[in-house]
Amino acid sequence: MTQEQLIYTFDQFKHASEYVSFKELASGHINDTFLIETKAEPFFIVQRINHSVFKDVPGLLSNKVSISRHIQNKLSYLSDEELHRQVLRFVQAKNGDYYHKDKHGDYWNVMIYIKDSVTHDVVSNAKIAYEGGKLSGNFLNLTSDFDTSNLTEVIPKFHDMPYRFWQFEQALKVASEDRKSKARVYLLKVAELKEEMHIIQKLKESGQLKLRVTHNDTKISNVLFDKHDNGLCVIDTDTVMPGVVHYDFGDAIRTICNTAAEDETNLDLVHFNIEFYRAYKKGFLEKVASTLSPLEINTLPIGAKTMIFIMALRFLTDYLNNDIYYKTKYPEHNLDRAKNQFKLIDSMVHQMDVIKTKNVYSMD
């Protein structure tokens, strides 16, 4: 992306700012994101949406803008300064849409940059976990009355367990004997956990779990903090879709509570951090417990286990498929990722007596 191309793209949106410089922000794995600095504040975020991953980009951006407006209306009692630090704001394109489609078929959107904000790629202390939980819970709380039928399902069947098992079974049919042999222990684990890992799905399908707005990518790097590690805003709402609360709680726990990197090969380093779990859960329930049913709260632990499992299953499936989805650095990379997630499940299970409290509403 040249400076001239970026300036041209930026100028397809309604702003009255004079461009000064840009820099690429490399934290994302799917989209291309740039910070535009202008002569006067505010600065802007310009983002190219990966339409190979997201097939309906106009629908995706409609989701983002609709949810942002809904949250802004809920927080209208805040000062303009506070509101602008706690909610994503999108800039309209000159054609009236909230995106620009360039001559190459790429889709772009522009957001207002949230000044003096920081992100964390890993959780280093319980306060960050707690603040992340508060923001994720508040996102669910503020959108609990949003009609999910107005949302586009940008990645169909994203957390659908039967679909993920179907993909796994198809991969197993074509996998090489060598790869099946190396993965044999984990193929047995999948079979052992299969019934339990459909609990959340069955509760959802029976209507016992409310279909609500979910973020679906609640890793800690998708939360903005101030310099004192106080939570500011949930970002990266590309995957906002109808879902159940367990998707957001579980995916956050999966990433926050692993004491090692997702592809750490020394499994002795992979443990489930119970301190971070309790801190995140405390912040999460402080904000959203009033809108959840007892069943939703009581099944949060199995929801966390399910979300860890679904990633283990996806990594294992890709390994059996000869690594066609996730980028890999060496032949066993996806298998190592799967092993890592299964070890995290084991560590969580060993602490389940602590995780499951007698009082389902416990903040501890």
The pLDDT tens digits of the residues spanning 215-242 come to: 999 999 999 999 999 999 999 999 999 9
CATH number of 126-355: 3.90.1200.10
Statement: residue 188 has pLDDT above 50: yes
What is the reported pLDDT for 28? 57
Among 70-79, 119-128, 349-358, the minimum mean pLDDT is found in: 349-358
Q: How do residues 249-301 score in pLDDT, each as one tens digit?
A: 999 999 999 999 999 999 999 999 999 999 999 999 999 999 999 999 999 99
Task: In the chain, list all ranges with CATH 3.30.200.20.
Answer: 3-61+89-112
Q: Has residue 164 got a pLDDT over 50?
A: yes
Mean pLDDT, the chain, rounded, equals 94
Residue extent(s) of CATH 3.90.1200.10 domains in the chain = 126-355
Which percentage of the chain shows pLDDT scores above 70? 96
Answering whether pTM is above 0.85, one says yes
What is the Cα–Cα distance from 9 to 19, expressed in whole angstroms?
Answer: 12
Is residue 347 within 8 Å of 325, Cβ to Cβ? no
pLDDT confidence band for 174 (50 / 70 / 90): very high
pLDDT above 50 (res 360): no
Residue 359 has pLDDT above 80, yes or no: no
pLDDT at 354 over 90: no
Q: List the CATH code of the domain at 3-61+89-112.
A: 3.30.200.20
Name the residue with higher pLDDT: 359 or 55. Answer: 55
Q: Which of 43-57, 161-175, 290-304, 345-359 has the lowest mean pLDDT?
A: 345-359
Across 6-15, 110-119, 233-242, 350-359, least confident range = 350-359
Q: How confident is the model at residue 355 (pLDDT cuts 50, 70, 90)?
A: confident
Please, which pLDDT band fits residue 121 given cuts at 50, 70 and 90?
confident
pLDDT of residue 362: 45
pLDDT at 225: 97
